[in-house]
Amino acid sequence: MQGLGPLARLFNNMSYEKQRHIMVESQLRSRGIKDERVLDAMEKVPRHLFVETDLADRAYDDCALPIGEGQTISQPYMVALMTELLELKGDEKVLEIGTGSGYQSAVLSLLAAEVYTVERIHSLAIRAKKLLADLEYKNVHALVSDGTLGLQEHSPYDGIIVTAGAPEIPYQYTEQLKINGRLVIPVGSRYSQVLYRIDKTAQGIKKSISTGCVFVPLIGKAGWDEKEIY
């Protein structure tokens, strides 16, 4: 704690619940997140348990944090924005690509009926699966596979959320969406992307841009080639 300014020290001494409340008000609501169900879910999920123990006191900071294996847990605002774009009402089946820490899956579990989440790195998937089970997020089903191909066996989905940056949109995602389903995905170069919301309608695909963003790469058959990345 030494070296922190007085404000940071004060914040550090607050309970995680209080820090979470401040995060929701100052990082999410004040920046335009309006869906009360999303705000409520993010007020509930204990983000400090999804980061490494020595980073717990930074869990509610306004930034992404490392989770091991060169991957990150997204900034709270980005989690809120992407979740809001899915417009979940509670009865949906959602697919998440990139389980990572499991934090986004936990938020989704409070907002949808069933959540399928896919991770390509075994160690992360195992850790997230155990934590989600310990915290009793019972409607989350965590699997290890190459999520660039979607997850055919449980399709079609009402929503698909991709939490890693793709070079282009794998056709499998729109194929595995229901009509009137939504896909939220960052697409672009390795170092910067644009967040798209894709609506699948009976008339076809509608694409809209939400914001600029920076994600770790989506690696796999229909994503970046691992050999080009490392």
- Which of 94, 80, 71 is CA-nearest to residue 47? 80
Nearest approach in angstroms of CB 51 to ligand SAH is 9
Nearest approach in angstroms of CB 133 to ligand SAH is 16
Question: Measured from the CB atom, is 8 or 46 closer to ligand SAH?
Answer: 46
Report, as residue numbers or ranges, the catalytic residues. Answer: 74
Question: Measured from the CB atom, is 148 or 193 closer to ligand SAH?
Answer: 148
Nearest approach in angstroms of CB 204 to ligand SAH is 26
Question: Measured from the CB atom, is 120 or 182 closer to ligand SAH?
Answer: 120
Nearest approach in angstroms of CB 1 to ligand SAH is 26
Q: Which long-range contacts (CB under 8 A, 24 or more apart) does 178-184 make?
A: 181/156, 181/157, 182/85, 182/86, 182/87, 182/158, 183/159, 184/82, 184/85, 184/86, 184/159, 184/160, 184/210
Nearest approach in angstroms of CB 3 to ligand SAH is 27
- List contacts with ligand SAH (CB under 6 A): 67, 71-74, 97-98, 100-101, 103-104, 118-121, 124, 146-148, 163-164, 216, 218-220, 223
Counting every residue written for the chain, the total comes to 230
Question: Measured from the CB atom, is 30 or 123 closer to ligand SAH?
Answer: 123
Question: Measured from the CB atom, is 19 or 172 closer to ligand SAH?
Answer: 172
Give the number of other Cβ atoms within 10 Å of residue 129's Cβ: 20
